[in-house]
Structure formats: structure tokens, C-alpha cells
Amino acid sequence: MIERQETLQISDKTHHEFIDQTNVLMLEEMGIIQCGIATCRDFFSIYRKNQQKHMLLYTIKGKGWLKVQHQRYQLEPSSVITTPAFIEVGFGMEEEEWQIAWVFLDPKADWSDVIGGGVQYSLTPISEVIYAAILSMLRSISLPIDLGGAIGKRAVEQIELLINAPINNEQSRSKIRMTRVFDLVQRQLHKDWTVTQLASQFPCSEPHFHRLCQQIYKHSPKVHVTRMRMEYAARLLVSTDWSIQHIGEIVGYPNAANFSTRFRRWSNMTPRMFRTNVRSG
């Protein structure tokens, strides 16, 4: 029988950055050995026979896989998988692009509230936030020492807080996935979203997506997108002096008359009336 060797296969198109205790002493104080982020392309796989540290692996975008002994897990956006130290583990990408963040924890420190007796897999809204915190710490190194040190300190505190945050397993996977879909919509309200496109982000069939949306939000996907657009438009009308035409374009209505009609149907006021009434009140 041929003994499997440790391997590391990473495409030249993969971009990855990490920071460890040699760069930020505060990490050592908190029992964090290393943390990093990566956007993986083409191919990316790592196999470790006896990993010397606890690992938290967060998936932000795309899909990946993780194998522990004979168990295989599929990693999807908004997921975190926790693997204890001193076990055989391999992981890699499954789609064309996989965006991840990772944190390595010192097994000598007390992580009993974070690391259980075996592999733990959950969906969580934390993934994107911890990615942003690690990126903030990475970028703080290039700033003047006082400013960079202050920002880096806060980033480490955020990472520790996120690591120790309890994961709400009572929230269904369907709801977490649905939230992920509409978080994407929120960032691209200008886009002409179809139910087909929304369902593909979940992913599931259109009828199933429609049923889930009715269960979770009590209305259809189209109604939910319209509601998001109107709520965001309302905030912009109050907080900015941008033209109504411009705000309409931002939320997906390039035709000002169409935007005004939709907004009035939602609020019983035209955008101009809404801006005037709220500001004067």
C-alpha cells in the first residue's frame, strides 16, 4: 500500500495573502497563529497528514470541498467548517472561482467553545465579515505605524469576536441561502433581476425558490426585490441631494416616470413629496 504524501497544488491564477504572529503580536496573545484570504482559480488543493493547528475555513464565494478521513463536505458561500488539530485533512476548489478566508488557532490555547471533538460544518453570515476584517488587517500594514497599528488592533479584536460568536443553528439553511441571494441583490439593485437569475443563485428551480420566498418573506421574489428597491430609494431621498432621476437609476428604474409611479404605489407619495415631507417633519 502506497502511503499518501502531503501535497500543495495552487494555480498561478490564485491570489492569496496571509498574516501571522510575526507581523501582529496581538494575534499570539489571542491564540491565533495565522489568518488569510484567497481567491482561488483553475486549481487549488491542499492535503495535510497531520495538521498541527485548529483550522476555521470560511467560504465567501463559489464552492469547494473538504475531506477528513473518509468523510467529504461540500463548502458553499456563507459556510464555515472547523477542523481540530492533529487530523488528516484535505481541501480544494470545486468551481471556477472560490473565495475563502481561513484562521489557524493555537491548539495549546483554550478554544473549547470553538473547537469541538470533531469536524463541524455550518452556514453562517459571518464568512463575509471575517474576510473583510482579515483584509483590513492585511492592508493596515502599509499605513503609517500609528494609524496602521490602531486599525490592525481593532481588526484583530473583530476577528476574535467573530471566531467566538455563537452560530445560530436554529436558522434554517434555506433562510441563510435566501438571505445570501438577496444580499447580492442589495448590492446590485440597478440590475434587472429575474426570478430565473435569483433561483440560480440559491440554487434551485424557479417554483421552489418562489415557494421558499413565500414561506420566509410572505411574498413573492419580485415583490421582495421591489420592496428592497423602494426602501433603499427612500433612504437615498432623505440622506442625499441626488436627483430623483439618479436615485431611480441606482435602484433599477432608468425611466424617471416609471420610478415615480412605482414609488408612489409603495409609499402613497411621489419621490419629491416623500423627500419634502420627511425632511420637514
Question: For residues 237 and 243, what is the distance between their CA atoms, to the nearest angstrom?
Answer: 8
**Residue 276: DSSP 8-state:** H
Shortest CA distance to 116 belongs to which of 51, 56, 70? 56
pLDDT value at position 2?
Answer: 45
Apex CA 179: angle with CA 39 and CA 212, to 5°?
Answer: 125
CA distance 87 to 49: 7
CA end-to-end span of the chain:
79
Measured in degrees and rounded to the nearest 5, phi and psi for residue 20 equal -140, -165
Cell of 47: 492535503
Q: pLDDT per position in the chain (281 positions), as tens?
A: 345 568 889 999 999 999 998 778 789 889 999 999 999 999 999 998 888 999 999 999 999 999 987 899 999 998 999 999 999 999 999 988 999 999 999 999 999 889 987 899 988 889 999 999 999 999 998 999 899 989 999 999 999 999 998 776 556 778 888 988 999 999 999 999 999 999 999 989 999 999 999 999 999 999 999 999 999 999 999 999 999 999 999 999 999 999 999 999 999 999 999 999 998 87
For residues 6 and 28, give the distance between their C-alpha atoms in angstroms, rounded to a whole number: 27
Domains and CATH numbers, the chain: 7-164 (2.60.120.10), 173-280 (1.10.10.60)
CA gap 82, 225 in Å, rounded: 34
Closest CA to 39 of 121, 120, 95: 95
Angle ∠(252,254,260) on CA atoms, nearest 5: 85
- How high is the pLDDT of residue 95? 81
Query: CB within 8 A of 200, min separation 6: which ones?
Result: none
pLDDT value for 1: 38
The answer to whether the CB of 123 falls within 8 A of the CB of 84 is no
Residue among 58, 102, 64 at smallest CA distance from 80? 58
Cα separation, 110 vs 115, whole angstroms: 9
For residue 265, how far is the Cα from the chain centroid?
A: 33
